[in-house]
A and B are shown apart, each in its own frame.
Chain A
């Protein structure tokens, strides 16, 4: 009895103010999907329907029609009147049912039908926990998304970011993990000193970040579930800018022990360090290519910050410059396909998020406000989340490669430094 009571108290920790995702621009040519109310208990099916609708809406690639917009409502796959859907220009039908197996198990079955082909194209079953319908719903959204677009969905992935809350002249910094739609915020770390550069391990079970809690920038790793954390290197110098190798065995870091920012690779198992750069100007913001064969970084060696990459498979490889347009190109990361990079690009006096494909010799600006920074790409390569400043307040925004846009405003504090997890599903 006493044990149960303690558990209750822990579970009921107040939920901090969540981000609310707003779509500011959708895709020009969305898929139209009829979302038929699921069968099952009203409370569960309503919640699932709303979350799935929001998930698909915010991809910017879908237009969702609910029961009240349809000409006929099929009760099962046998009585779908396809012509009623064709008339409305509907491409796909999603229907399903929810069964509460017992108090701790709930399952949802969902089916997707292709209106043009007049046939079922997917049938799936997801098992979850009754009070965690949000995750179960995200799985449904991701299954539907994958079936229709051919790309894995990201509704069930997570975002990591830093929130700063100020009151009476002092600040509290929180490292937060939330669902990809900004809901379900949970705090990983609280500190009165700044936290920057959070990044996920490739299996999304750990995070690395820079904390100033010792009075100086230091890199820590932390296990999300257990809270166990450690400082990656003990010395008296600054350490910053962690990035995990795709196989999870190494962290690339910026070390200041040579009297200047240089990039090193740390073997997490034996703590061996390998120096990667050797130049009197700034070298920092390293990130790994998807197959781990290259490291990209920002260097001031040309007189202004520019992106360079080093081939790790070649001995004594010289850094190769990869940006030439403009006098500020920094904080690059590779697309998951490896076909290009996203980065912060200065155009006139504005800092924007830009994309450059390796087979093109020009920069594609993706955003157009003044102080955009910290771009991070979703694991399916389709969405970029980044930090903006609006009336002096930091918040997160996003853009899809198909051109849809969204924002993630917060009610309290300022949000920045977003980092997208890998696939959790």
Chain B
């Protein structure tokens, strides 16, 4: 154990230093606070919200079952302005916008985390293998990513999501298809750099297996740039998802999803400003949080900026 610590002493020092820098940056800490708040809101939604969805089990077109949320409709309370009863007012179905935003945080988090986790996984595996082994595999992968990266994110996701049909799962699938090439490229670039480093050469010369080199030497050393990219992308994913929902491709009607709420509220903008305003503020705040956090992480991990 002691040996381990000694071996990694410089790296631990490094991380400590980064942590110190991060704590010193006010904006990064604000970002962190926003994200922690988001997690807490999502986790404790039932205790924060005033109205709560009920849940029903339904089978999907694919034959699987899923649990869907339902919000009680009260047409007699429609489009009420913000008040102590309804902090953010009500929508055209008389539902409490505050509660829907609170529960909507769960949906947003789920979209961000799943999309990024799966695209990172695909990207890291494919990019890592391609970069490490090179050759035909690398060439094929690069040409494929070229194609995907030649269409802007939103537009590719738009085309795919339109084809898959309206549902949150489908926009997540569309975004994964759109996003993995970025990570594949990033990982490949990392591998190409790290592969030539002396410590990898050394490991190879003592006969370490490819799998060991990839998992124990290359992967840990590419984590920092990956992490920065992930944090920044979490915000971007949320924006694209909200955009798709806004166009009308995302969440199914009646669910608490921020982009959908803005889309629904749009026709009532002139006599119910609160309907579009608050869900938008929620998106802005969360994306801001991810971006502040990501910027902060990048600043502390990028040696050039560390002054």
Tell whether A and B belong to one assembly. no
B residues lining the A interface (CB < 8 Å) = none
